[in-house]
Amino acid sequence: MRLDKIHQPFTLSAITLTLSLGAFWGAWILAQMGFLKSFTAISLHTINAHGHAQIFGWLSLFVMGFSYRLLPGFQGSTLPHPHLALATLPLMGGGVLLRSVGEGIGSLFPFAWNVAMWGSGLEVLAALLYGFIIFRIFLFSANALETSNYFVLAAVIWFIIQTFYDGIYFIATTHAADPKTLLRLVSTWQAPLREIQIHGFGMLMVLGVSQKLFPRLFGWHPITRRPPLQLLFWAIQMGLAGMLSGLILMRLRGHAWAGLWYSGALLMAFATMAAVIKSRLLYFRASEDPFQNDLIKFIRFAFIWLFISLGLLVLLPAYMGALHFIAQGVSKAAKMGFSHAYYGAIRHAITVGFLTQMMMGVSSKLISTWKNNFTQFETFFPWAPFHLINLGCTIRVVGQIGTDFHSSFFYITPFSGVFEVTALGLWGFQIFKIIKGDLHESNIHPVI
């Protein structure tokens, strides 16, 4: 396999997994939740099997493929151990299949829990090898460490941590002696895991790669070492650490620790927004190239969803207060003092609105550019997917929060899944077509 095509099998596997065990299954789960009028009516393991396929299959495989393809060029080196890099595909892809299917059917066929554990083992191996290769790229690079590298390296470290955490957490939940123990485990350890996966791994990786890639794509001055940006990077890490320890201590030591969680959330959210502004990731001028302008729309909307998600996080205490005030008699969430729907909306805004939209937009540009070489531009821009993904995400976020106030929102929210899966299907089909055509071409002189 040529090194400039190494991202292709990873991307195709990520698309296949999201269109089966990931988004497609998520849409089916959402339809059942709408019918049953509850976000907690579906078994924990079914929901987590979907979440797992999305984080490890969709997000991780995609990131792995593109980091093998992009990072060596950014560092002025070549990919070390290309065969090892390729081996991480069957390890991670196979691991996700075993783990997600095993977790999904484990309550019907108990032997499947063991199969799922083997899947987690393969994922740990893949994550370690991936981490080793990425650290080799940076270690042997002639270029000095730039701020964007801090973001990428931190994302890789969080990625490895979450892979171990996820495996151990899965074993603990499948061995819980009774429902009370399971509930205790989930309420203490699941939320920190999601923080690591979404903010620690996904968000930091996108921010790091964007700082390096956007100047090249849009002809800006490179973003190298900027002291305020480095400070913001450390503020994000401190914020994350505060959120993680606050979430755990809140359950183990008492609710007063919610203050630590919230301080961490504020620090992480404001430092992230400041980092996006400071690294000028939103600094676009209209271009004469219509394809460039199309890409800019994807990126802008992705950042809007990131800011919406972070804004909702910051407003959480105000929301709970307002919910208590407005819907005390009607809302289960107001009575419990915890809104599953609101948390779900925060997560969906960032996983689909930000991460997925950014992945779709930027990869459309890169894959079509790489196919035809830089001089023959043939960029497709997936317009229907762009509208569908934003429509779906809006319906989901508004609809899911709306269920706290009125049960009729349960009938509207499932439509979001249909729009989002259609968006991913249409986009994925285009990517398959482009990559398939590319398999027989050899005229590539990549610039990026």
The amino acid present at 403, given as its one-letter code, is: T
Number of H helices, E strands in the chain: 19, 0
The DSSP code for 337 is T
The pair of structure tokens assigned to 335 is 């009575």
User: Is the Cβ of residue 113 or residue 342 nearer to ligand HEM in the bound state?
Assistant: 342
Taking the complex as a whole, how short is the minimal distance between the CB of residue 275 and ligand HEM, in angstroms?
Answer: 21
Chain residue at closest Cβ approach to ligand HEM: 344
Of 85, 93, 87, nearest to 136 by C-alpha is 85
Of 138, 133, 142, 141, nearest to 65 by C-alpha is 133
Taking the complex as a whole, how short is the minimal distance between the CB of residue 293 and ligand HEM, in angstroms?
Answer: 26
CA dihedral 351, 353, 357, 359 (to 10 degrees): -20
User: Is the Cβ of residue 22 or residue 246 nearer to ligand HEM in the bound state?
Assistant: 22
Taking the complex as a whole, how short is the minimal distance between the CB of residue 244 and ligand HEM, in angstroms?
Answer: 14
For tokens 């390296």, what's the residue? 153
CB atoms within 10 A of CB 367: 21
Taking the complex as a whole, how short is the minimal distance between the CB of residue 290 and ligand HEM, in angstroms?
Answer: 28
User: Is the Cβ of residue 111 or residue 411 nearer to ligand HEM in the bound state?
Assistant: 411
User: Is the Cβ of residue 197 or residue 379 nearer to ligand HEM in the bound state?
Assistant: 197
The DSSP code for 403 is T
The amino acid present at 146, given as its one-letter code, is: E
Taking the complex as a whole, how short is the minimal distance between the CB of residue 403 and ligand HEM, in angstroms?
Answer: 10
Taking the complex as a whole, how short is the minimal distance between the CB of residue 173 and ligand HEM, in angstroms?
Answer: 12
Taking the complex as a whole, how short is the minimal distance between the CB of residue 167 and ligand HEM, in angstroms?
Answer: 15
The amino acid present at 109, given as its one-letter code, is: F
DSSP codes, 229-243? HHHHHHHHHHHHHHH
User: Is the Cβ of residue 149 or residue 403 nearer to ligand HEM in the bound state?
Assistant: 403
User: Is the Cβ of residue 105 or residue 352 nearer to ligand HEM in the bound state?
Assistant: 352
Q: Binding residues for ligand HEM, per CB under 6 A?
A: 23, 26-27, 29-30, 33, 39, 47, 50-51, 54-55, 58-59, 190, 194, 344, 347, 351-352, 355-356, 417, 420
User: Is the Cβ of residue 179 or residue 329 nearer to ligand HEM in the bound state?
Assistant: 179
CB 141 within 8 A of CB 75: yes
